[in-house]
Amino acid sequence: MSENSNHLTDRELRTPRAAAITGILFAVLFSTSYSLILYRAPGASADIASWLARDSETVMTGVSLLPFAAIALLWFMGVVRDSLGHLEDQFFSTLFFGSGLLYLAMTLMSAGLASGALNLYVRHPEIASQTLLLDLVRAVSKETMTIYALRMAGMFMFVLGTIWVKTGLMPRWLIGVTYLAAVVLMLSVGQLQWIIMLFPGWVFLVSVLILVSNRRPTAMERRKWHLIGAAIRPWIL
C-alpha cells in the first residue's frame, strides 16, 4: 500500500472521531449556556431589571459560552462534510452548509443582542430600567432564537438525514429520529423555550453514536500495537 493510500485511509478513519468530539463539545457548551441564561429567568417583562440585577454574572457567563459552542458546531459541520468524501452531493451539501451557517449566524446575533443589553444595564442601570430597551432586546433575541434559528436547525437536520438516506452512512432508526425532530423544529411555534435544546440533544446523540461505532481499533492501530508488542516482548521474557 502506498504512502498516499495510507494517508487517505488514516484520514477517513480519524474524521468520524473528530466529528464526534466536536459534536459532543457543541452540545455540552450550548446546553450549559442556555441553561445558565434561562436559570430563574422571569416570566414577565417587568421583572427583567430585577432578574439582571440578581443574576447578571450568571447570564453573562452563559452568553460568553455561545461563541465557543458555535465554533465547535462549525468544526462538526466541516468534519461531517469531509467524511462524505466522494459520496458528497453538491446540491445537498450546499443546503447542509447553508442552513448550518444561518443557524449559527442567528444564534450569535441573538447572543450579541443579549450581551449588548446586559453591558448597557451594567454600565447604566437607570437607563435600561426606565426604558423599553430590555423588553425590545428580549423580544428580538427570543424571536430570533426560538423561531428563525430553529427553522434553520430543522432544515439542517432534514438535509443531513436525506444525505444519510442516500449514502447509507447511518442506521434507519437514527434517520427516522432525525426527520421527526426536524419536523418538530420547523413547525414549532416558539412558545416552548426549552425546545431549543432539541437540536444540541440531537447533535449529542449523533456524536455519541459515531464515537461508539468507531471505538474499535483500526487495522493500522492494531498493526502498530502488534509491532510495539513484538519489540518489547524479548525484554519482558
| DSSP per-residue letters across 50-114 | HHHHHHHHHHHHHHHHHHHHHHHHHHHHHHHHHHHGGG--HHHHHHHHHHHHHHHHHHHHHHHHH
Q: What is the pLDDT of residue 8?
A: 39
Q: Cell 452548509 appears where?
A: 97
Q: What is the pLDDT of residue 1?
A: 43
The torsion defined by the Cα of 109, 111, 113 and 114, in degrees rounded to 10, comes to: 170
Domain that holds residue 44: 3-236
Q: What is the pLDDT of residue 19?
A: 78
Any residues with CB less than 8 A from the CB of 148 and at least 6 apart, and which?
A: 106
Q: What is the pLDDT of residue 106?
A: 92
Quote the number of domains for the chain. Answer: 1
The torsion defined by the Cα of 45, 51, 56 and 62, in degrees rounded to 10, comes to: -70
C-alpha pair distances (Å), 96 with each of 17, 71, 153, 203? 20, 16, 10, 14
Going by the DSSP 8-state scheme, the letter that residue 145 receives in this structure is I
3-class SS at 21?
Answer: helix
Give, for all 237 residues of the chain, the pLDDT tens digit.
444 444 434 444 446 677 788 999 999 999 998 888 776 555 555 566 666 667 677 778 888 899 999 999 999 988 887 777 777 778 888 899 899 999 999 999 988 887 887 777 777 777 666 667 777 877 888 888 888 999 999 999 999 999 988 888 888 999 999 999 999 998 876 666 778 899 999 999 998 888 887 655 555 555 554 555 555 555 544
pTM listed for this prediction: 0.77
**How many Cβ atoms are within 10 Å of 233's Cβ, its own excluded?**
9
Whole-angstrom distance, CA of residue 32 vs CA of residue 73: 15
C-alpha pair distances (Å), 164 with each of 81, 83, 95, 157, 182? 12, 12, 14, 10, 14
C-alpha pair distances (Å), 20 with each of 7, 135, 210? 21, 38, 6
Which three three-digit cell numbers place residue 97?
452548509
C-alpha pair distances (Å), 37 with each of 43, 64, 95, 159? 13, 10, 30, 30
